[in-house]
Chain A
């Protein structure tokens, strides 16, 4: 019952948040520039442009435009992209797999490297390898992602010639999903972008896991475990590690959203045909319907991941009370 109440509450909150996002997204469009400039050549006269603007309904008052937008939006129509001449949602959906695969690639790297390294640093805080990892993570956290990306292109594509320099490579379709995971070429193309994207999050997670684990290793129940004479592996990986994960999940959920933001940079350097690159291009072209649709879609992803994280959190740690439960 508590769960249901919690879920409904979160759903209502989500709807409210989405409404606010749509309002903000819609109201900034006037400050993005004039979409007509990108649609016509430089010698087209102002009156001609104004006539087009009229036809597109851009001269209507704000509330009329917003009303029209919301009326269509609740029916699932977020308008047509000026540039792609297709429904904005369709355009974003077509680019979504590329971004998702990039995020998955980066997440896998983080999971497979950050967790073992973080745990290792917590267990052997004084070892030289731990010190090296901590030092290196400082560098990693302070180098901007686009620099990592450009640097890796120059080293691995131009100088060494091991990796492709741009794009997604060959993709193959499975159930309507064009995936790069299924071909060798697609996987090779994923390597550098995934590393670049992971590079910004990796140090954060190593440090987080390390400090959380070190803290937990000081707790009484761990001392009891040692006193009981349990095997070190059991103490570390079963008793300590499980509790280390709690804050990591919370931060991880929030960071998935941030990672989406970083895809904008990674994708534009690697000419990765995903949502982030699409958004940057849309801003440059003042493709307002696409910009608003992107903001709404990303907002939705944020809201959904956060809700899921809350649910998972309560499941992993039953001592946390559900918000609003009595």
Chain B
């Protein structure tokens, strides 16, 4: 079989040489395939990875967390609530329909109706047509993250998605648990179209022959995406040459991939923070700042990174990673067992107490092992931990009930901005506004709430950054939560696949620009 492939490849190359058009196939293995072809159905990493293949956003993130125009050629601020985007001309959807401002407005209105995305777009009032190739994005208040959110606006083909399908249902409907036109059909402007799809088995993408971005160096003509759920099998598939590119990579297999002559490993500091929250409503002692500080001082998160994560993470002392608006260099991890014991003594609880802890066992990298390590570290300051780990499917309902005194949560900011962490994790829980939805510690600080709310309408980046840094400082001093680490990201590929140039910290590789030798 190998021989056949070699012969076929040689034949393909001969044909390629004569026509100067090289047919390149990339065999890609992720842990899962896209759940739906509808970019608005589920807000998840998988959906965004898929969206960047078949659709194009208005703007997209660059490697250094800046922005580059995609469907928007340029943008200007009209007033403090309005951003004007000039659209690229001559862009066509896969169906052949031309892309105009009407498609973007249609897409935006659909985003506002999507249960998953409407929260992200709550600060926006509307998108308005100025002319055929110009739109205005208007917010209700001055809003600093307009471009951040514009990375989520992937133009959909409004004519293609208008009308009724075979079951007389609207083609534009967003359906989470049933058959819908948009879940199984797609027309975007992106570098790839879908040639075939067998859910859970494979998806075949073909290069869009009339892609607008003719400057893109990408030379992959076909992508075969196979989901391989088990980490060791995924790695074996790469090592044996059955696939060219895999993600994610289990930390245990990284040295093997590096050592192997034909493969390479690409890693990057990630942005997902892993934390523990100390529930102050359930445990009286956690109300005391000194006890919380003692816990933070008792946990050797650098050791966890080294021993359990095999160096594949960055130990954290705050919520947002480096590069984010609120990041402060001096808020470092603070493991100091002596100080922890002293703090317990100061708080009058040096004899310790018992608490319950819960963590998932299949959600984050090594989650259950981390929880076990933390539990044993806390025993050194006489806090006896009764730990329970469970699959994520059971963990989230337990988390919603706040079922344990200490609970693990990881968070990735959908806006790639510091404020998002606080909005969900450390603002005072409020069911009406939705703030603090994942704050199982019930930490509340009016000052933090005020600063975050203020930051939401600050359009001066420097002043806003200062405000968010102040928040991080308060949370640090208050030991509002227990920061552990930011999970790193890793991809592995056959040598010759230029993944370095297309991967990014958001973990949606721009496969349209991928160069394969």
A164 to B44, CA, bound (A): 31
Q: Are B236 and A154 within 8 A (Cβ)?
A: yes
Are B393 and A48 neighbours in the complex by a CB distance under 8 Å? Answer: no
* Among listed A135-143, A230-238, A266-274, A292-300, interface-contacting one: A266-274
Residue pairs across A and B with CB atoms within 8 Å: the count is 138
Residue from B35, B116, B393, B431 having most chain A Cβ neighbours under 10 A: B393
| B44 CB contacts on chain A under 8 angstroms | 41
Contact B177 A43 (CB under 8 A): no
Contact with B along A13-40 (1 / 0, CB 8 A): 0000000000000000001111001111
Q: Does A322 sit at the interface, judged by CB under 8 A? A: no
A82 near B116 with CB under 8 A, answer no
Bound complex: CA A82 to CA B179 (Å):
9
| A85-B178, A184-B1 known; A46-B227 Cβ under 8 A | no
Closest 3 CB pairs of A and B: A33-B393, A41-B43, A157-B240
Whether the pair B437, A271 counts as a contact (CB closer than 8 A) is: no
Which of B53-61, B209-217, B381-389, B394-402 contacts the other chain?
B394-402
* Complex alpha-carbon distance, A159 and B237, angstroms: 12
CB interface residues, A 141-186, toward B, < 8 Å: 150, 153-154, 157-158, 161, 164-167, 184-185
Q: Does A121 have its Cβ within 8 Å of any Cβ on chain B? A: no
Q: B45-57 CB contact bits vs A (8 Å, 1 = yes)?
A: 0000000000000
Closest Cβ of chain A to B24, distance in Å, is 21
Give 15 A-B contacts (CB < 8 Å), ordered by A residue.
A33-B394, A37-B392, A37-B393, A41-B414, A42-B411, A43-B120, A45-B119, A45-B434, A46-B437, A150-B232, A153-B233, A164-B240, A165-B240, A167-B226, A286-B393
Considering the complex, which residues of chain A in the window 212-237 have a beta carbon less than 8 Å from any beta carbon of chain B?
A: none
User: Beta-carbon contacts of A231-270 to B below 8 Å, as 1s and 0s?
Assistant: 0000000000000000000000000000000000000111
Cα distance, A113 to B329, chains bound together (Å):
66
Least CB distance from B48 to A in Å reads: 11
User: Is there contact, CB below 8 Å, between B230 and A268?
Assistant: yes
Decide yes or no whether A77 CB sits under 8 A from chain B. Answer: no
Q: Give a binary string over A179-208; 1 marks a CB under 8 Å from any B CB, 0 the rest.
A: 000001100100000000000000000000
A284 touches B393 (CB 8 A): yes
Besides A166-B233, A166-B242, A281-B200, 8 new A-B residue pairs in contact (Cβ under 8 A), listed by A number: A31-B394, A33-B395, A41-B116, A45-B434, A46-B431, A47-B431, A161-B241, A273-B200
With A158-B236, A284-B391 known as contacts, the answer to whether A271 contacts B228 (CB < 8 A) is yes
Within 8 A of B (CB), among A37-66: 37-48, 52, 56
Q: A33-B393, A161-B2 are in contact. Are A39 and B177 (CB under 8 A)?
A: yes
A32 touches B43 (CB 8 A): no
Question: Which positions 264-319 of chain B face chain A at CB distance < 8 Å?
Answer: none
Q: Is A80 part of the contact surface with B, judged by Cβ < 8 Å?
A: yes
Asked if residues A34 and B177 are in contact (CB atoms below 8 Å), the reply is: no
Contact-size category for A: 35 or more
The residue of chain A having its C-beta at the shortest distance from the C-beta of B116 within the complex is A41
In B184-223, the 8 Å CB interface with A consists of: 184, 198-201
Task: State the Cβ distance, A249 to closest chain B Cβ, in Å.
Answer: 35
Tell which of A32, A33, A164 has the most Cβ of chain B within 10 Å: A33
In the complex, which residue of chain B has the Cβ closest to the Cβ of A56?
A: B177
Determine whether the beta carbon of A166 is less than 8 Å from that of B236.
yes
| CB contact between A40 and one of B115, B175, B198, B236 (< 8 Å): that residue | B115
Q: Taking A44-B119, A164-B1 as contacts, is the C-beta distance between A52 and B176 under 8 angstroms? A: yes
State the main secondary structure of chain B at its contact with A: loop
Q: Which residues of B contact A40 (CB under 8 A)?
A: 42-43, 115-116, 176
One of B227, B236, B240, B396 near A37 (C-beta < 8 A): B396
Give Cα distance in the complex from A205 to B199, angstroms. Answer: 37
Q: Tell me the nearest residue of chain B to A178, going by C-beta.
A: B198
Closest to B117 in A: A41
Q: Point out residues on A near B: beta carbons under 8 Å.
A: 31-34, 37-48, 52, 56, 80, 82-86, 150, 153-154, 157-158, 161, 164-167, 184-185, 188, 268-271, 273, 277-278, 281, 283-286
Interface centre among B119, B177, B201, B414, by most chain A C-beta atoms within 10 angstroms, is B177
Residue of A nearest to B198 (CB): A273
Contacts of A34 in B (CB 8 A): 393, 396-397, 400
The reply to whether A188 and B1 form a contact with Cβ atoms under 8 Å apart is yes
Given contacts A43-B119, A271-B229, A158 and B393 within 8 Å (CB-CB): no
Task: Verify A166–B237 contact, CB threshold 8 A.
Answer: yes
Instruction: List the B side residues contacting A185 at CB < 8 Å.
Output: 1
User: Which B residues from 414 to 437 make CB contacts under 8 A with A?
Assistant: 414, 424, 431, 434, 437
Known: A165-B233, A278-B200. A32 touches B394 (CB 8 A): yes
The smallest beta-carbon distance between B462 and chain A, in angstroms, is 27
* Chain B minimum-CB-distance residue to A184: B1
B180 contacts the other chain (CB 8 A): yes
Per a CB cutoff under 8 Å, which of A41, A45, A165 touches B42?
A41
Q: A85-B179, A273-B201 are in contact. Are A38 and B393 (CB under 8 A)?
A: yes
Report the separation of the CA atoms of residues A31 and B391 in the bound assembly, to the nearest whole angstrom. Answer: 12
Indicate which residue in A43, A82, A153 contacts B424 across the interface (CB closer than 8 Å).
A43
A interface footprint on B228-249 (CB within 8 Å = 1, 0 otherwise): 1110110011011110000000
- Cβ-defined contact, B43 with A43, below 8 A: yes
Is the C-beta of B362 less than 8 angstroms from some C-beta in chain A?
yes
Query: Once the chains bind, are A283 and B400 in contact (CB under 8 Å)?
Result: no
Docked pose: A252 CA to B431 CA in angstroms: 58
A80, A271, A278, A285: residue with the most chain B Cβ atoms closer than 10 Å: A271
Cβ–Cβ contact A80 & B177, under 8 A:
yes
